[in-house]
Structure 1
Amino acid sequence: MRIRKYMVIGILSIVLFPWVVYFVIHMFETHPWQSPKVNPQTNVAQIVRMLSQNEQRWTNPAWQQEAEQALRGKGLTVVIRSPSNDVIFDSAAPGAHHWMSNQEVMVLEDGKWVGTVQISSAGKADPAAVIGAVAAAVLAIAFVSYQVGRNVIKPLESMSRAALQIADGDFDFELAESSTLEIRQVRSAFRIMVHGLRESFAKQEKLEEERRFFIGAIAHDLRTPLFSLRGYLDGIQQGIAASPDKVAHYVAVCKDKAAHLERLVSDLFAFTRLESMEQTLQKEQLDLSEVVRQTVSSLESRAMEKGIRLNTSAVTETCDVTGDPHLLERAVTNVLDNALRYTPLQGEIFIGLKKESGRAVLTIRDTGPGFSPADIAHIFEPMYRGDASRSSATGGAGLGLTIARRVFDFHGGALTAANVPGGGAVLSGWLPLDEHRCQELD
């Protein structure tokens, strides 16, 4: 039931129920078998005869007073009306009512209608009816108050207490039931809100935990190469590197550590810009195969140092896409860098690019150990690396694949990881083809 209908029914109950009880009791008390009977052959006939004989005196105040006293003694009231229904004489006291009409007689004189006489029981208030009406009013008010308290006030009070508990961070509370539609709707919305707040707080706690881990991991990754760099520089300064060959070795190590620091800072900077969405995509039409070839060319020297072959024989098709060339090159570089890091000496990395169902599909497969079952579900998470040591031998801050996936996502594509049945890992990414450009070329 809606609250408006509920309140209307309550008000009507308070107003009408006492009157119904009053009239029922009064009707019972004034019923002919309960009231003093008026003999139509004696009292009424005598009164009518007396009133008819005094038709000329109906408007006389003295006669009216005498008639009123005589009628009051018989428990009757009389109303005399003119043919036009104007009241000439009314023996009832001011404010009294004529509850039951016993008889109504037309008065004729010389065949002419001169008035109407209405004889009624005296219109006195019935004490039993009044008491019953007051009791009914009290009961109606008590019933309506109880219903309003149970279905409206109590649920609202419980919601108010719950709101105060939520403000203090307490989500364990009970909400009172209600049969009122609006209260039930608010109660349901309140529960949905609380459920959302719980999820929001849980997510906030998880993000805060990730933030603390993120800061700790960054500090660890930056501290390791900095510590090594400082040690080798101190060795040069203190003359530990006495020979030119040893000095050259120390300088080479310092350059390597500086490059490592640069890579770490670059990854962190790229990640924070992507995380806060500060970097706007500079989209333009480009050939993804050219981006892949340039990236492979930039990493050939590192591959040659480990004796790893970069096989690009499957990159033959022109794949026109729309995107940011610098970000896409960064994403492909990160995926290839991950493959180089885990591919053993004299291994091979296969790079493929093809068109498939309106997409440009890039695959990078290595001959390394692949992903462990425990790692494969987490490799795209920030700061996650499969090896537990976090040694500098395996590279950066654990953000490379995270950045690569987000770049693919920002371009409307996706990046996934899997293991090759025969051994090794494969990362597959796709981007939507520029259909307009492809049609022009065709």
Structure 2
Amino acid sequence: MNLNKFNQVFPKEEGIFPYIYLANMCIPLFFMLREPTETLYPGLLLLLIFVIVYRQIFWSSKFLILFVVVELVITLVLSYFYDPLYLYIVFVFSYLMTRLQWKWLYWLCGSYAIFSLILIYQTVFPDHLILIVSFLPPVFGGAILPFIMKASLRYKELNEDLKRVAEELRIKSEEKERLEESKKRMLADLSHDLKTPMTTIQGYSKALYDNFVEDEEQRRRYLKYIYDKSIRVTDLIDELFIFSKLDNPDSLINKQEQDLCEFLRQLIVEFYEMFAEKEMELNIEIPSKRIVYSFDQKLFYRAISNILENTIKYNPLQTNVFISLKESKDLLVIEIGDDGTGIREDLAETLFEPFVRGDKSRMNDGGTGLGLAITRKIVQKHNGRVYVDTNPTRGSTNFIIELPI
């Protein structure tokens, strides 16, 4: 309850600082109460106005300059008509002056310093020169406030810059470690994926070379195994070459302005028979109008076809497939989804990494494990991004490609 009452005086976001500075008003109030009756009440009225203005600043920030000027005038009036030591009140509202724009801060602090020096000259000089030392802190402090603030802000900026640089170095170090680990894992997976078909090729070719196979049908079957495994090795090497080429930041792509809608329609037609073989139903939402976009047709064909091939390969018969192209203010969005097997959330996060497959049981399915990694590289080359939504509004899995307009 008490905190709520306090918050009615000053906003909760301000913390305890307003109360600390306002408590300093007890000192000028103590000296004011020692004044004779004829000067006491006007002085108390000025202090009351000062406190009200001080409080209103926190609730009426648009009148900040006006209120600070009022505080400055009251301070100078009290110092001139009562005692120059009232100049110390400047330390009460200097906390508020730091909110001003730089130009107003310079003007007010400069004006305060000039009027304070004039006041001291008229009230102290030349009879009480020793008292000038007492007035140096408020006059000097009020005059150099902008410079103190600038130094403080500069120090804060330098401190934040150092923190940002340290954080960037930490992120880069972690990224470097992650890349090194990824390369090690990629080499291990690559050696495994190459070793398996090569072992098969060596075994069958040795059996044929040593004439262990006499049956012609079995001989032809062995030759078919060798041929199939050699095709797999060739595909893997080709995919690895493309992936390495795309991974090079200096590699260029051949962008040309083309109708993206017509491109997608032609691509889907090429895959239509493959969808028909698995009795998959296509739901296509592609605008009838032309949407001209600058892209590399050959690479983009590979990016989309990798997703379509996975959709066909890893889903059961009669799966519904959704393909759409949508245009927003600053994005083109291609969505390829289905209501098939689905992908686990944890696997979706790493699905675009090299040699990652959506199911561990598919390690020997004939795929290279580089298809979606290549898709991501191609989309990134077009300044876009690709990700998987495992909880789409329809279906179970949705591959989303976002391209900036």
Residues 280-328 of structure 1, C-alpha deviations (whole Å, 9 max, x = no match): 0211111223433444455456556x62537264346343211111111
The letter for the 2-side match of 1:314 is: E
Instruction: Measure how far apart 1:199 and its partner are.
Output: 3.9
The letter for the 2-side match of 1:427 is: F
Alignment check: 8 A CA contact 2:338 2:398 kept: yes
Instruction: Measure how far apart 1:195 and its partner are.
Output: 4.9
Kindly tell me: are residues 394 and 424 of structure 1, through their superposed partners in 2, closer, same or farther at Cα, counting changes over 3 Å?
farther
1:211 to 180, 183, 189: 183
Kindly tell me: are residues 234 and 348 of structure 1, through their superposed partners in 2, closer, same or farther at Cα, counting changes over 3 Å?
farther
Alpha-carbon distance in 1 for matches of 2:334, 2:159: 52
The letter for the 2-side match of 1:415 is: V
Instruction: Measure how far apart 1:217 and its partner are.
Output: 1.2
Residue 360 of structure 2 aligns to a residue whose secondary structure is: coil
Please state if 1:376 is matched with 2:348.
yes
Unaligned stretches of 5+ residues in structure 2: 1-150
1:80-91 matches, cutoff 5 A: none
Residue 370 of structure 1 aligns to a residue whose secondary structure is: coil
1:327 to 274, 294, 299: 299
Alpha-carbon distance in 2 for matches of 1:285, 1:346: 36
Alignment check: 8 A CA contact 2:385 2:401 kept: yes
Residues 253-272 of structure 1, C-alpha deviations (whole Å, 9 max, x = no match): 33332332233222212221
Alpha-carbon distance in 2 for matches of 1:282, 1:270: 15
Alignment check: 8 A CA contact 2:319 2:339 kept: yes
1:337 to 305, 309, 312: 309
Please state if 1:407 is matched with 2:378.
yes
Instruction: Measure how far apart 1:244 and its partner are.
Output: 4.7
Residue 429 of structure 1 aligns to a residue whose secondary structure is: strand
Alpha-carbon distance in 2 for matches of 1:416, 1:332: 13
Residue 348 of structure 2 aligns to a residue whose secondary structure is: coil
Aligned to 1:428: 400
The letter for the 1-side match of 2:388 is: A
Residue 264 of structure 1 aligns to a residue whose secondary structure is: helix
Residue 374 of structure 1 aligns to a residue whose secondary structure is: helix
Kindly tell me: are residues 255 and 423 of structure 1, through their superposed partners in 2, closer, same or farther at Cα, counting changes over 3 Å?
farther
1:103-122 matches, cutoff 5 A: none
- The TM-score normalised by the length of structure 1 is 0.48
1:416 to 373, 387, 390: 387
Alpha-carbon distance in 2 for matches of 1:187, 1:421: 46
Alignment check: 8 A CA contact 2:386 2:399 kept: yes
The percentage of aligned residue pairs carrying the same residue is 26
1:288 to 260, 268, 293: 260
Kindly tell me: are residues 307 and 215 of structure 1, through their superposed partners in 2, closer, same or farther at Cα, counting changes over 3 Å?
same
1:92-111 matches, cutoff 5 A: none
The letter for the 2-side match of 1:214 is: M
Residues 8-43 of structure 1, C-alpha deviations (whole Å, 9 max, x = no match): xxxxxxxxxxxxxxxxxxxxxxxxxxxxxxxxxxxx
Instruction: Measure how far apart 1:242 and its partner are.
Output: 4.5
Alpha-carbon distance in 2 for matches of 1:203, 1:408: 21
Aligned to 1:263: 235
Alpha-carbon distance in 2 for matches of 1:412, 1:180: 40
Alpha-carbon distance in 2 for matches of 1:402, 1:392: 18
Alpha-carbon distance in 1 for matches of 2:266, 2:275: 14
1:276-315 matches, cutoff 5 A: 276-299=248-271, 303=275, 307-309=278-280, 311=282, 313-315=284-286
Instruction: Measure how far apart 1:340 and its partner are.
Output: 2.2
The letter for the 2-side match of 1:409 is: Q
The letter for the 2-side match of 1:365 is: G
Residues 117-170 of structure 1, C-alpha deviations (whole Å, 9 max, x = no match): xxxxxxxxxxxxxxxxxxxxxxxxxxxxxxxxxxxxxxxxxxxxxxxxxxxxxx
Alignment check: 8 A CA contact 2:325 2:333 kept: yes
Kindly tell me: are residues 256 and 366 of structure 1, through their superposed partners in 2, closer, same or farther at Cα, counting changes over 3 Å?
farther
Larger radius of gyration: 1
Alpha-carbon distance in 1 for matches of 2:247, 2:200: 30
Kindly tell me: are residues 362 and 180 of structure 1, through their superposed partners in 2, closer, same or farther at Cα, counting changes over 3 Å?
closer
Alignment check: 8 A CA contact 2:338 2:397 kept: yes
Residues 393-417 of structure 1, C-alpha deviations (whole Å, 9 max, x = no match): 16222x3222212322322333221
Instruction: Measure how far apart 1:215 and its partner are.
Output: 1.1
The letter for the 1-side match of 2:365 is: A
Provide the aligned C-alpha RMSD in A: 3.6
1:159-308 matches, cutoff 5 A: 194-239=166-211, 242-299=214-271, 303=275, 307-308=278-279
Kindly tell me: are residues 198 and 288 of structure 1, through their superposed partners in 2, closer, same or farther at Cα, counting changes over 3 Å?
closer
| Structure 1 or 2: more helix by fraction | 2
Kindly tell me: are residues 355 and 214 of structure 1, through their superposed partners in 2, closer, same or farther at Cα, counting changes over 3 Å?
same
The letter for the 2-side match of 1:413 is: G
Instruction: Measure how far apart 1:427 and its partner are.
Output: 0.8
Kindly tell me: are residues 254 and 349 of structure 1, through their superposed partners in 2, closer, same or farther at Cα, counting changes over 3 Å?
farther
Kindly tell me: are residues 235 and 292 of structure 1, through their superposed partners in 2, closer, same or farther at Cα, counting changes over 3 Å?
farther
The letter for the 1-side match of 2:264 is: V
Instruction: Measure how far apart 1:224 and its partner are.
Output: 1.8
Kindly tell me: are residues 264 and 358 of structure 1, through their superposed partners in 2, closer, same or farther at Cα, counting changes over 3 Å?
same
Moved more, 241-250 or 410-419: 241-250
| Structure 1 or 2: more strand by fraction | 1
Alignment check: 8 A CA contact 1:319 1:354 kept: no
